[in-house]
Amino acid sequence: MPILTASNLTKTYAGEPILQGVSFAIEPKEKVALVGRNGTGKTTLLRILAGLDDADAGAVSQMPWAKVAYLPQIPEASGDLTIWDHVLSGAADIHALEARLRELEARMATPEIHDDPPRLQAVLDEYGTVRAHYEHAEGFNLPARAGMVLSGLGFSEADRQKRLADLSGGWRVRAELARVLLAESDLLLLDEPTNHLDLGAMEWLEEYLRAFPGAALIVSHDRYLIDAVSSRTLELEETRVTAYPGAYSAYVGLKAEQTRRQQELYQRQEEEREKFEAYIRRYKAGNRATMAKSREKMLGRLAARAIEAPREGRKMKVRASAGAVSGKAVATLRGVSKRFADLEVLRDVELQIVRGERIGLLGPNGAGKSTLLRLLAGLEALTSGRLTLGVNVRVAYFAQEPTTSLDPEHSVLDEILGDRPMAPEAVRTYLGRFLFSGDDVHKKIAMLSGGERQRLSLAKLLLDEPNVLLLDEPTNHLDIPAREALEAALRDFAGTIVVATHDRYLLERLATRILTVHDRGISDFHGTYHELRARRAREAGVKQSRARARSPERTRRAAGPPEPTFDQLAGEITAVERVLEDAGRQLSDPELYRDAPRVKEVRAQYEAAQHRLDELYALLAAVEASSQVDAP
């Protein structure tokens, strides 16, 4: 049976229909992607499913036992809670079970219960039931799981005691995602879960969702994620939802075939209609009037079952022309370093970029990717070293936040026109390719949405036909159709591209060389993102195999403590979980509470095992992270 069912949902805002007759169901353990253009109502639909908004008509039903967790795009502030306390609050049901266990343990220790066999048995029965629920919910492993989730999303152990209110918006989103994941719900409703995640956290989240035993409905512009995780795709278009079997790639193919087939049927219908109308016009008043009337009836039947022409939403029509050809050597960096006060971002960088290369720039947030792009663009001064641009190089730089390159007081038209010798009508035509039409061109930039500002920045960037594009997160705020249009334009671009992006779909289809910025410098890999991931996986496997093969004597002779391997940590985790389980069993024995010192001893064992399990999961996350970083 479905875990959640939406039946004939309808929603209207300010007289405009957002949802009409929306119906679908989600099965237990099913991972479903919800796609659609910006502004079609995806967030509205998720909020209705989560019970936060009401539909005007229709109903949402779920299984009585189902626990649903919702991740909003912009979480509400949570006061003075620390990150750790906020994340643990997602498991409120587990905390309630644990509190009840403590209450029952205290009751068993009292003489009036312990010395009254019927009352003691009643308490023991409840204790057994509560403990079974607690174990099923993995309550014993809660701190360890919280540490694992936080580590996977990029939080260090030192971050855990930071106040949530002191975090930036992006890190608050990560903390809220950690809280939602820790709740171990039966159904996750995730609204853009990869917003503000760096590549490492995205890869971790992808693996987490693939292994997640519950169901999930995911709204995301991250095509790589939904392609890897989902088994069905729901498309929200023109107020209605259409279901497609398969992940995102399958949906794209099926949608294209559906559109082609509908266009074909529409053309046949129109050809048949034109034949009927021509026959009627020719013979309506002649000796074939009876036949003409018959054709009129056939024409009426055709109109009654008319097939509509396929309607495709407006798409960006981006062209990226490279203009003049640059020299073969586009940029050469020799011993380049960059320091901001006491913070060294880049050190002794040696790099050459060649004409026509498509370079993907990777690395965790704050590693220096944006700084490297700004150095190449001439927007930052080098601290030391030398940077040389090649002959006839014309650079265009796209900032991660479009507000930095746009004047909020300008209109869209004025921002593009500037001092360029272009007629306003030519600019209007150009802007139309970026979905600015009619009165849109007179909007103040301050009134534009994030996606609109991103499109305007792209329009401005490409207008002067540069031959080197330096792009910092160019697909931020863009919906999937806009991302696909930009991706196609960049693939056709004849010049050189260096792009820092967390959009793995774009990265895979564009980049043929990957530079990874990290605290030890820059690693250079000639190949695609997919090939880089495969190489990292192979090297991580070899690393573990070598560790297993190392003899005990050689390990003892090695300088310093040996680095724990995945298998070693997994083995110790299993052993500690047994200790935790054994201590928990003893705490459930009413006879234990006759011996107060022994109660304290077992409780200390239980808490120590919990703490050690937390440490082991943190080490496990660090080993997994190092296996990704070690390979260039």
Share of the chain above pLDDT 90, in %: 30
Q: What average pLDDT is seen over the chain? A: 84
pLDDT tens, position by position, 571-592: 787 778 778 777 777 766 666 6
The residues pairing with 57 across neighbouring beta strands, listed in sequence order, are 10
> Which tokens hold the place of 54?
């009401």
Which pLDDT score is estimated for 336? 92
Cα distances from 157 to residues 150, 153, 160, 162, 619, in angstroms, run 8, 12, 6, 10, 11
Q: How many CB atoms lie within 10 A of CB 520?
A: 10
Strand partners, 444: 411
pLDDT at 630: 42
Residue 35, helix vs strand vs coil: strand
Q: Is 308 exposed, middle or buried (0-12, 13-18, 19+ CB in 10 A)?
A: exposed
Q: Report in angstroms the alpha-carbon separations of 265 from 111, 254, 259, 269, 307.
A: 83, 16, 10, 6, 7
Calculate the dihedral angle through the C-alpha atoms of 81, 83, 88, 90, rounding to the nearest 10 degrees: 80
pLDDT at 77 over 70: no
User: In whole angstroms, what is the distance from residue 47 CA to residue 34 CA?
Assistant: 13
pLDDT confidence of 564, banded at 50, 70, 90?
Answer: low
- State residue 623's pLDDT score: 66
- Tell me how far CA of residue 487 lies from CA of 186, 478, 499, 501, 507, in angstroms: 36, 12, 12, 12, 9
What is the pLDDT, as a whole number, of residue 557?
Answer: 44
Residue 324 has pLDDT above 90, yes or no: no
Range 503-520 average pLDDT: 89
CA angle 258-261-267, nearest 5°? Answer: 140
Instruction: Provide CB contacts within 8 A for 168, sequence distance 6+.
Output: none
Region of 574 please: left (phi>0), alpha (psi -120 to 50) or beta: alpha
Which of the listed ranges 101-110, 137-146, 198-207, 228-237 does the model predict with the highest average pLDDT? 228-237
Provide the Cα torsion 127, 132, 133, 135; round to 10°.
Answer: 120
Residue range 420-442: average pLDDT? Answer: 86
Q: Answer yes or no: is pLDDT of 449 > 90.
A: no
* More confident site: 631 or 551: 551
Assigned token pair, 630: 């070690």
The reported pLDDT for the residue numbered 590 is 63
Percent of the chain with pLDDT over 70: 89
CB atoms within 10 A of CB 236: 21
Q: Which secondary structure element, helix H or strand E, spans residue 137, and what is its range?
A: none
pLDDT for res 549: 61
- Distance, CA of 579 to CA of 584 (rounded, Å): 8
Measured CA to CA in angstroms, residue 158 lies from 83, 150, 174, 609 at distances of 10, 11, 16, 21
The two three-digit tokens of residue 425, written as one number: 């009508």
Confidence of residue 543 (pLDDT cuts 50, 70, 90): low
Distance CA 258, CA 253 (A): 9
511: tokens are 């980049």
Please name every residue paired with 26 in a beta bridge, in sequence order, or none if there are none: 4
Q: Choose between 397 and 134: higher pLDDT.
A: 397
d(CA 558, CA 546): 14
Looking at per-residue confidence, does 272 or 394 come out higher?
394
Q: Is 41 helix (H, G, I), strand (E, B) or coil?
A: coil
Whose structure tokens read 């809670």? Answer: 81
Query: DSSP letter string over 52-111?
Result: SS--SEEEEEE-TT--EEEE-SSPPP-TT-BHHHHHHGGGHHHHHHHHHHHHHHHHHTSH
CB-CB contact of 153 with 621 (8 Å)? no
- pLDDT for the residue numbered 287: 67
pLDDT of residue 110 exceeding 60, the answer is: yes
Give the mean model confidence (pLDDT) for residues 180-206.
Answer: 89
Burial of 119 (C-beta count, 10 Å sphere; 0-12/13-18/19+): middle
Residue 120 has pLDDT above 70, yes or no: yes
Query: Per-residue confidence at 186, pLDDT binned at 50, 70, 90?
Result: very high
Structural contact between residues 352 and 335, judged by C-beta atoms closer than 8 angstroms: no
pLDDT recorded at residue 440 = 87
Residue pointed to by tokens 């950690």: 178
Instruction: Please state, in angstroms and rounded to a whole number, the distance separating the CA atoms of residues 19 and 74.
Output: 22
The rounded distance, in Å, linking the Cα atoms of 114 and 120 is 6
Cβ count near 360 (within 10 Å)? 26
108 close to 123: Cβ distance less than 8 angstroms: yes
Rounded to whole angstroms, the Cα distance separating 371 from 364 reads: 13
CB 315 within 8 Å of CB 481:
yes
Residue with tokens 């007289």: 15
* pLDDT value of position 625: 57
**What does pTM read for this prediction?**
0.77
In the 3-class helix/strand/coil scheme, how is 403-416 assigned residue by residue? HHHCCCCCEHHHHH
pLDDT tens, 340-361? 888 888 989 999 999 999 999 9
- For residues 395 and 382, give the distance between their C-alpha atoms in angstroms, rounded to a whole number: 17
- Those residues with Cβ within 8 angstroms of residue 287's Cβ, 6 or more apart along the chain or in another chain: none
pLDDT of residue 547: 60
Q: How confident is the model at residue 18 (pLDDT cuts 50, 70, 90)?
A: very high
Q: What confidence category does residue 558 fall into, taking pLDDT thresholds of 50, 70 and 90?
A: very low
Q: Mean pLDDT, to the nearest integer, of 57-66?
A: 92
- Determine the length of the chain: 632
Cβ atoms of residues 467 and 495 within 8 Å = yes
Taking each helix axis from N to C terminus, what angle separates 480-492 and 450-462, rounded to the nearest 10 degrees?
10
Residue 289 one-letter amino acid: A
What pLDDT, on the 0 to 100 scale, is given for residue 559?
45
With 70 as the cut, is the pLDDT of residue 321 above it?
Answer: yes
Contact 236, 37 (CB under 8 A): no
Average pLDDT over residues 522-536: 88
- Cβ atoms within 10 A of the Cβ of 49, count? 23
Could you tell me where the beta strands, DSSP code E, fall in 108-220? 187-191, 215-219
Identify the CA nearest to 114 among candidates 582, 584, 606, 595. 595
| pLDDT, position 571 | 73
Tens digit of each residue's pLDDT (9 = 90 or more) over 234-292: 999 989 999 999 899 898 888 888 888 888 888 888 888 888 888 888 877 776 777 87
Of 66-75, 196-205, 396-405, 522-531, the one with minimum mean pLDDT is 396-405
